């Protein structure tokens, strides 16, 4: 049983195993279920993610009209060629956006770790799939690796936007994805932790300010940025670059920042982008009155 990233990495290194192995074994121990059943359940989650991407990439729109169709635009842009950011990163962006557009359209997604941040992990996974050509088992393991780091964050800080801002949601999701990308690419457990740290520390302080209180604006596009952050951080870690601040300390810093963050910037829809003139106009258009006057 591991309580933090340092213990997780130590377990993996001492036993000469992958992070995903440690997480699978812990799940089996805690639940008392056979590893085969645990792998099959995670494969079902993977199928949900795949279906959400496939649906979103075809084009969906939310009932509010705030979001939809951006995944299609990005896909079309990639297909034209000569992109500035590179095909793999933008593929991750399009698939992350696709997933969150499905969420906004009341479709079925897999919360990783939350619905509002559900696009980052699958978006990056299905983008790097086209580069690394993993087996189905390796794709399932990607989810266990990301889950291991999410487990640590959830138990030592927060994955809730209402409790810690968007840094706790998209920030955590991006860190989870970065770590999983590193393992899939053949990196070490230590490099997985470095990728998590690099990602999360570059998303510290990110507020949760949903326009009209809906998980749409700016949430969908923040998943796009989280996915790109994860991809770059993974490459940095694989290159041998390390975070000067240990991963567990970055997680602790995120928790403390979230505690100090005002409630207006933690999913209440009372500050940040939600409180801009345009944000208020959109809110009034959708609901007919400001959030504070709604029953």
Task: pLDDT tens for the chain, 295 residues: list them.
Answer: 899 999 999 999 999 999 999 999 999 999 999 999 999 999 999 999 999 999 999 999 999 999 999 999 999 999 999 999 999 999 999 999 999 999 999 999 999 999 999 999 999 999 999 999 999 999 999 999 999 999 999 999 999 999 999 999 999 999 999 999 999 999 999 999 999 999 999 999 999 999 999 999 999 999 999 999 999 999 999 999 999 999 999 999 999 999 999 999 999 999 999 999 999 999 999 998 665 555 5
| Residue ranges of domains in the chain, CATH in brackets | 5-286 (1.10.4100)
Can you tell me the distance from the alpha carbon of 141 to that of 24, in angstroms, rounded to the nearest whole number? 9
- Within 8 A by CB and 6+ apart from 243, the residues are 194, 197, 198, 201, 250
Measuring CA to CA, how many Å separate 114 from each of 20, 79, 293, 294?
Answer: 20, 30, 27, 25
For 61, list phi and psi in degrees, rounded to 5: -135, 145
pLDDT at 288: 87
pLDDT at 294: 52
Structure tokens at 227: 């996915």
Omega prior to 73 cis, within 30 of 0? no
pLDDT at 93: 98
pLDDT at 292: 57
For 52, list phi and psi in degrees, rounded to 5: -65, -45
pTM of the model: 0.96
């Amino acid at each position: 049983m591991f309580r933090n990233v340092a213990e997780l990495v130590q377990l993996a290194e001492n036993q000469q195993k992958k992070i995903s192995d440690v997480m699978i074994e812990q799940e089996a121990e805690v639940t008392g279920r056979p590893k085969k059943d645990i792998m099959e359940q995670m494969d079902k989650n993977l199928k949900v993610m795949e279906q959400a991407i496939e649906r979103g990439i075809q084009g969906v729109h939310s009932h509010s009209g705030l979001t939809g169709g951006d995944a299609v635009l990005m896909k079309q842009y990639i297909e034209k060629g000569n992109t500035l950011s590179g095909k793999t990163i933008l593929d991750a962006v399009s698939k992350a956006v696709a997933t969150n557009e499905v969420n906004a359209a009341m479709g079925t997604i897999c919360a990783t770790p939350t619905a509002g941040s559900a696009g980052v992990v699958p978006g990056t996974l299905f983008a790097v799939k086209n580069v690394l050509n993993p087996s189905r088992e390796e794709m399932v393991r990607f989810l266990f690796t990301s889950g291991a780091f999410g487990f640590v964050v959830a138990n030592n800080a927060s994955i809730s936007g209402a409790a810690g801002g968007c840094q706790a949601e998209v920030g955590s999701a991006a860190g989870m994805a970065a770590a999983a990308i590193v393992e899939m690419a053949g990196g070490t457990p230590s490099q997985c932790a470095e990728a998590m740290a690099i990602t999360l520390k570059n998303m510290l302080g990110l507020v949760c300010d949903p326009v009209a209180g809906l998980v749409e604006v700016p949430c969908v596009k923040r998943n796009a940025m989280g996915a790109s952050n994860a991809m770059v951080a993974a490459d940095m870690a694989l290159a041998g670059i390390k975070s000067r601040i240990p991963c567990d300390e970055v997680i602790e810093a995120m928790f403390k920042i979230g505690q100090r963050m005002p409630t207006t910037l933690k999913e209440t829809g009372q500050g940040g982008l939600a409180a801009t003139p345009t944000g208020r106009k959109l809110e009034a258009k959708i609901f007919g009155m400001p959030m504070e006057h709604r029953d």
